[in-house]
Structure 1
Amino acid sequence: MMDNRLLGIEPFIHKELTKYHVPSLSLAVVKEENIIYQGCFGFRNLHRRLPPDPQTRYPIASLSKSMTALCLGLLKDEGKIDWNIPVVNYVPEFNMYDPYATWNVTLEDMLSHRTGVPCHDAALIERPIIRKTTKELVECIAHLKPNKGFRTMYEYNNFMYIAASYIIERVTGMPWATFIKKRVFEPLGMDHTSAVLADLIQDENKALPYKEIDGQIEQISYANNDHAVGAGSVHSSVQDMAKWLSFTIGKGEYMGRRLVSEQIMKEIHKPRTLIPTPLENAFREMPLSAYCFGWVLQPYRGHLCFQHSGGIDGFSSFQTIMPNEKLGIVLLSNLENTSLHIAMADMIYDLILGYPETDWPARYLARKKVMHANKSNHNKPLEEKRELETNSSRHLEDYVGQYENKGYGTLEIESCKDRLIMSFKGVRSELKRNNCESFEITHSGNPITVFFKTTSKGEISAVCVDFEPSGQAIEFSRREISWH
């Protein structure tokens, strides 16, 4: 049964898609086990002008984390794992950078982002070919430095969900993608959902990935995210995600079939780690956030509300539920790094709950501009330095070479037509000088500082890259040249 209160939103969505250059937006709203609104707008394929429909597949990125938490909950129900037993009991060879964390980290720590290890996403992402297996990515964790103390503060980290997925594989002897298909997707009737990229590619009814580059919407390549497993490899449709949200609202039961105990669902949605939010980024309607297991507790206008966003090359996604009202909303978009889908979820809640109309897209855009201005002000001293201190007696060839970090892999610096080029995991970036040994690159649309370390003799020994803005620069040691 469709909710007529939402029909008036359709002209607004069409207008906002054009205004924010979003190729397509597919959404579904559920009340208990019923879809009360479903809408698909724009084009899943801009070149061929193909519209999306409720079965169109989109990568859902980090919305996968809530499904990984459920997979572990299924195993906990069966007595095969526990949230609070150190993970070395399941994977004895597991290591973290901090020896204490190695012996004490639990699934609760991993799933609630309280290990102290920051994103380190540059160590995870590889373009265009994935070279590491899930096992090899888990082994990388031993070389990823923490930014906060163990169990002290929130630090979002995809590697921990990869490790959690690997634990599922070790405990069950089944690949994570197979386990989630058999234990979650098939029982819920999610026929247009998978965790294997090949399934998405071979489906004609899929959204293409797009990104705004220099003010233009450009089609880009799909991210091969299979190795990221439970951190973000699932792709789905709004029709299937509506079933997922109804199951979640139903506390583990869907269409008369219980998949997991209600107690496990309570444990999954228990807030564990407070998420600090800068004052200038906060909305008064959402005064606090705390991470649960694959969900974020974020009360909305006084209503109990859980949500999670997702982002990957060419796509943005969002899911949210209000358990007491038995409402759920999912929105899938094929534009990278947009907040329109999240803004539309807030507008939908306001319409259903009877709150005054608020232009949420405009508010999110204003916040984005403030954040961008803060970032620009932060980088302004570097730009001034570049103008004043661009002279260096060092030849460009002095920087050329291969540099290595055990967690991140190999980085290469080469000289090309009086310029320095950094190649890292398939991405080439020009180094622009800030001062004598400091440069700047643009990586994933963000300015990043790169600086070189020297020995007591003045020889280049390492390159440091600010891949982690919240922590220390990542140091890559120079490889010694082998002469044969």
Structure 2
Amino acid sequence: MRGQHRRHPAWPSKALLALAFVLPCTAALAAQTTPVSTTPEARTYDHILDTVVARYHLPGIALGVIENGKVVYVATRGETIAGSGRKITPRTLFKIASNSKAMTTALLGRLVDQGKLHWDDPVTKYLPGFQMYDPWVTKNMRVADLLTHSSGLPEGGGDLMLWPEPNAFTRADIIHGLRYIKPGYSFRSKYEYDNLLYVVAGEVAAAAGSAPYETLMHREVFQPLGLSRCQVGQWNRDAVGDVAQPHSFRDGRNVPEDEDGPVIPAITSAPAGGIRCDLDDMLSWARNWLVPTPAQLQWLSAEQRHVLQSPHMLIPVSEQRRDWDDSHIMAYGYGWRMTDVDGTWTVWHTGTLDGMYSELMLLPDQKDGFVFLINGEAESARTVLGEALLKHFTKPDDTRGVTWYADALQRADEQATKRAAAPDTSAATPVAPAVLAAWTGRYRDPWLGDLMLCPRNGRVHFAVAKSPRLNGDVMRLGNRDLVHWSNHGMDPDAWLDFHPAQGGQPATLTMAKVDPLGDFSSDYEDLHFVRTGDCP
């Protein structure tokens, strides 16, 4: 899913010619990726990086730093696949996950510059079949509202239509399913992170640009900016080459998970989190925002750049962020977060997918920044590395360092776990079909679709038709039932709560995370299955 991890509650918490001006611009960008490896600053970055890699046993990482608009440091550690001997390089492709969102909003900004789209246009102008749960919200949802995580969708609402991958949900399925997801708060009243509406935004771009999202991304973003290694849509792994694979950390070692096949398929989630890029291209992408050339200002106007990176929705500032960074305000723009850190304005985003983590940080006023890409379980590593690198710019006399931040974060995690500890499920036992005979059968949720809860091999098996990895056996723990997912990467498991038929209405099934701190993309709480028939 978007990240099979426990969230840190204090950190808010997937063939056309380039324009004529691209060639000199691209050459200039490439010239800036040569690292300066002998300066005191470079030795500082080496120390930060190596300390984080050792602390968190990272399988692979690529890091680049920009100072005053120039790339001054590039470093890589580890392997594309642990134990393979294939080293990470600045040209290694990683999943950038939700850092894809800023590329999607840049595409939309391009269409605004071209007069094909306006931020205040109703979504239904481009997608007549678009509906939210509330008809008033449907009517008043603007293109801009798709981008600020303030639509009323509950946090991570509907993400089970995107992840786990692979699944059979299309973008049309997502647009149709939105009408069934009950709001978690009133429209435009608060920030709750969602992914589905970025998929909708990609379809708005496709309608306005008269081409599929993937075609537009290549034509309007990758090619003009010279992002020659970035990939979206279907592509050939071996033809492109040098592709990092995700890892989990199990039994003291990094284990590859969900490795790519020879052909990487186009994925529904691309506008929200499905782009892959290498470090060189991500540094070029970052410099485009920090020190745009005249040609790049033709690619995207200063007006649209300002719109994308201006605050549009406030985000609560956590106690930890206040303590660590003296932050007073946090906000979301269009595909970007922004925060004051030690009196310095920062614009940034992170990306999280199974076994892949990224961060892109910009300090626009100083023209500084950094980007790093990791192919392992690295939520804490990302937080600590990002903090240590950021302090180098915002508070250079800070003496706390990687170890201090890592220890502090570990203590905070332990305290959060004590407050909302997940139950020990090791004593759970399989439920015999006879015990659940009254509840087995076929069920349907209006947006996730069909579920089979039926006997198989002497157990009761749970299987969602359109999401083959959402399958597992039903277990009993005390007096409660849960589904234990068959795939290792499918944490957290889910409680199953059965509700009897009444008033002429059929029986229903609801779900909840066994681990209350489990990833919000495991949005089991938003499901409401209704029994539709017996098992075959």
TM score, norm. by length of structure 2: 0.81
Closer, same or farther: CA 121–278 of 1 in aligned 2, 3 Å: farther
- Aligned identity (percent) is 21
Q: C-alpha deviations, 1:245-293, integer Å up to 9, x for none?
A: 011113x546666311111111111111122255367643052421111
Runs of 4+ that moved beyond 6 A: 390-394, 457-460
Q: How far apart are residue 318 of structure 1 and its match?
A: 0.5
Mapped pair 1:444 → 2:490: yes
Q: How far apart are residue 102 of structure 1 and its match?
A: 0.7
Closer, same or farther: CA 89–146 of 1 in aligned 2, 3 Å: same
Amino acid at match of 2:361: T
**Higher mean Cα deviation, 203-212 or 110-119?**
203-212
Q: How far apart are residue 116 of structure 1 and its match?
A: 1.2
Name the CA distance, whole Å, in 1 between partners of 2:130 and 2:457.
45
**Higher mean Cα deviation, 277-286 or 126-135?**
277-286
Name the CA distance, whole Å, in 2 between partners of 1:444 and 1:39.
32
Q: How far apart are residue 180 of structure 1 and its match?
A: 1.3
Closer, same or farther: CA 406–375 of 1 in aligned 2, 3 Å: farther
Closer, same or farther: CA 372–162 of 1 in aligned 2, 3 Å: farther
**Higher mean Cα deviation, 357-366 or 17-26?**
357-366
The structure 1 residue matched to 2:512, chosen from 466, 471, 475, is 466
User: SS at the partner of 1:258?
Assistant: helix
Name the CA distance, whole Å, in 2 between partners of 1:327 and 1:422.
50
User: SS at the partner of 1:305?
Assistant: strand
Closer, same or farther: CA 391–9 of 1 in aligned 2, 3 Å: closer
Closer, same or farther: CA 130–474 of 1 in aligned 2, 3 Å: closer
Closer, same or farther: CA 302–280 of 1 in aligned 2, 3 Å: closer
Amino acid at match of 1:322: L
Mapped pair 1:454 → 2:496: no
Contact 1:54 1:237 in 2 (8 A): yes
User: SS at the partner of 1:299?
Assistant: strand
Q: How far apart are residue 482 of structure 1 and its match?
A: 8.7
Q: Which residue of 1 aligns with 2:119?
A: 83
Q: Which residue of 1 aligns with 2:10?
A: none
Q: Which residue of 1 aligns with 2:224?
A: 187
**Higher mean Cα deviation, 117-126 or 428-437?**
428-437
Q: Which residue of 2 aligns with 1:208?
A: 245
Q: Which residue of 2 aligns with 1:423?
A: 463
Amino acid at match of 2:336: W
Mapped pair 1:20 → 2:56: yes
**Higher mean Cα deviation, 202-211 or 236-245?**
202-211
The structure 2 residue matched to 1:146, chosen from 179, 183, 189, is 183
Amino acid at match of 2:92: T
Q: How far apart are residue 89 of structure 1 and its match?
A: 1.4
Q: C-alpha deviations, 1:102-137, integer Å up to 9, x for none?
A: 111112211011101021354223555331222222
Mapped pair 1:356 → 2:398: yes
**Higher mean Cα deviation, 114-123 or 46-55?**
114-123
User: SS at the partner of 2:132?
Assistant: coil
The structure 2 residue matched to 1:240, chosen from 272, 281, 306, is 281
Mapped pair 1:395 → 2:435: yes
Mapped pair 1:129 → 2:166: yes
Name the CA distance, whole Å, in 2 between partners of 1:383 and 1:459.
35
Name the CA distance, whole Å, in 1 between partners of 2:177 and 2:162.
13
Q: How far apart are residue 361 of structure 1 and its match?
A: 5.8
Gaps of 5+ in 2: 1-34, 514-519
User: SS at the partner of 1:297?
Assistant: strand
The structure 1 residue matched to 2:330, chosen from 284, 289, 294, is 289
Amino acid at match of 2:370: I
- Count of aligned positions: 479
Query: 1 or 2 for the larger relative contact order (CA 8 Å, sep ≥6)?
Result: 2
Q: How far apart are residue 84 of structure 1 and its match?
A: 1.7
How do 1:35-434 residues align onto structure 2 when only pairs under 5 Å count?
35-118=71-154, 119-127=156-164, 129-200=166-237, 202-213=239-250, 215-222=252-259, 226-250=267-291, 253=293, 258-279=298-319, 283-285=323-325, 287=327, 288-352=329-393, 354-360=396-402, 362-364=404-406, 366-367=408-409, 370-371=412-413, 373-375=415-417, 377-379=419-421, 395-416=435-456, 419-424=459-464, 425-427=467-469, 428-434=471-477
Contact 1:463 1:477 in 2 (8 A): yes
Closer, same or farther: CA 19–458 of 1 in aligned 2, 3 Å: farther
Name the CA distance, whole Å, in 1 between partners of 2:458 and 2:505.
20
Amino acid at match of 1:285: D
Name the CA distance, whole Å, in 1 between partners of 2:436 and 2:191.
41
Name the CA distance, whole Å, in 2 between partners of 1:262 and 1:470.
38
Q: C-alpha deviations, 1:16-70, integer Å up to 9, x for none?
A: 3233121011011123542111111111221212111111110101000011111
**Higher mean Cα deviation, 88-97 or 401-410?**
401-410
Amino acid at match of 1:453: H
Q: How far apart are residue 14 of structure 1 and its match?
A: 2.8
**Higher mean Cα deviation, 74-83 or 428-437?**
428-437
Name the CA distance, whole Å, in 1 between partners of 2:433 and 2:240.
56
Contact 2:347 2:363 in 1 (8 A): yes
Amino acid at match of 2:36: M
Contact 1:91 1:170 in 2 (8 A): yes
Name the CA distance, whole Å, in 1 between partners of 2:294 and 2:258.
36
Contact 1:432 1:440 in 2 (8 A): yes
Contact 1:238 1:331 in 2 (8 A): yes
Gaps of 5+ in 1: none
Q: How far apart are residue 357 of structure 1 and its match?
A: 3.2
Contact 1:312 1:336 in 2 (8 A): no
**Higher mean Cα deviation, 194-203 or 465-474?**
465-474
